[in-house]
Amino acid sequence: MRILITNLLAVALLLFGAASASAFSINMVAQGGTSSLTTSNNVIVDVFLDSTGPITIFSVAVVNSNPSVMLYDGAASAALPVNPGAGTYGTSNGNQSSYILYESVGKKSNYLVPGQTPYFQTFPPETPGTEQVNINYVENALGTTNATGVGVYVATLLFHIVADFGTETLELAFTTSNTIQAGTVTVPASTIGLSAPITLTGVVPEPTTAMLVGLGILGLTVAGRRRV
């Protein structure tokens, strides 16, 4: 009998672990093109949350691989309208003091609100040489948002391309140290699903253009030597 109970408990724990592993996931989607980018382009991404359980704290960071080429603009992000796919309840415009995962329980309403002002801001990055944008939401009433949802809109971030980057590849990706607190329990970061990084490419010079530029540099070098 004890062996049977032990086995049942083991199976229950395995099932619970499997359910927990897929209970929360964070996804990032680009609004426009991600290739042939130049300094006349902006990169706008939306962040969405899939939740199948209660949430008290939601903290995620987006990392920009090269801030010398692309920079986050908090003011421009805050001025963006509500994501076109966002409804009235259970969503946020992502950049103002709105709410996500709203649920009314009896006379009490639980929802997440931005945990900082400005709502999304850069922090010292975990990886030197990168730019990190933190998105923090908290349930101020110390309750939990028991509402669940797939594709709950969380945020919109705008980045400017500030330099041409040719053959270099840029990335926007989530860190692996994101935090979700479900009630009073912190969800292991390793169990939070993360979408793949968004890859960005620039305009690659045509061979003839590159050759002409090379010949021009060579000519300047030869002319300089003759003057000496």
Q: What is the mean pLDDT of residues 124-152?
A: 82
Asked if 52 and 23 count as a contact pair (C-beta separation under 8 A), the reply is: yes
Residue among 102, 100, 189, 187 at smallest CA distance from 136 = 100
**Residue bearing tokens 């006379």:** 107
Q: Residue range 194-199: average pLDDT?
A: 97
Rounded to the nearest 10°, the torsion over CA 64, 70, 72, 76 is: -150
Q: What is the separation, in whole angstroms, between the first and last Cα of the chain?
A: 97
Q: By percentage, how much of the chain surpasses pLDDT 70?
A: 64
Query: Which tens digits make up the pLDDT trace of 21-71?
Result: 448 999 999 998 999 999 999 999 988 888 887 788 889 999 999 999 999
Other CB atoms within a 10 A radius of the CB of residue 31 amount to 15
Task: Give the model's confidence band at 126: pLDDT under 50 very low, under 70 low, under 90 confident, else very high.
Answer: confident
d(CA 73, CA 71): 6
| Range in 87-101, 105-119, 132-146 with the lowest mean pLDDT | 87-101
DSSP 102-125: EEEETTEEEEEEESSSSSEEEE--
* pLDDT at position 211 over 60: no
72-84 pLDDT tens trace? 998 888 777 655 5
- The domain segmentation of the chain, as residue ranges, is 22-213
Alpha helices in the chain (DSSP H): 2-21, 74-78, 207-227
Q: Is the pLDDT of residue 123 over 70?
A: yes
Please state, in angstroms and rounded to a whole number, the distance separating the CA atoms of residues 73 and 41: 13
pTM of the model: 0.75
Distance between CA atoms of residues 200 and 72, nearest Å: 14
DSSP state of 145: B
* CATH no., domain 22-213: 2.60.40.680
